[in-house]
Amino acid sequence: MTRNLTEQVYRRAYREGSLLNEKEGERVDTDRIWWVQAEAMVGFYNGFERQEGRTDYLEAVLSI
Structural domains counted in the chain = 1
Please determine, for residue 14, whether its predicted confidence score (pLDDT) is greater than 90: yes
Give the mean model confidence (pLDDT) for residues 50-56.
93
Q: Which domain holds residue 7?
A: 2-63
Please determine, for residue 3, whether its predicted confidence score (pLDDT) is greater than 80: no
Which pLDDT value is given to residue 20?
94
**DSSP line for the chain:** -HHHHHHHHHHHHEETTEE--EEETTEEE----HHHHHHHHHHHHHHHHHSTT-HHHHHHHHH-
Give the mean model confidence (pLDDT) for residues 4-27.
93
pLDDT above 70 covers what percent of the chain? 95
**What pTM does this model have?**
0.87
CB 49 within 8 A of CB 58: no
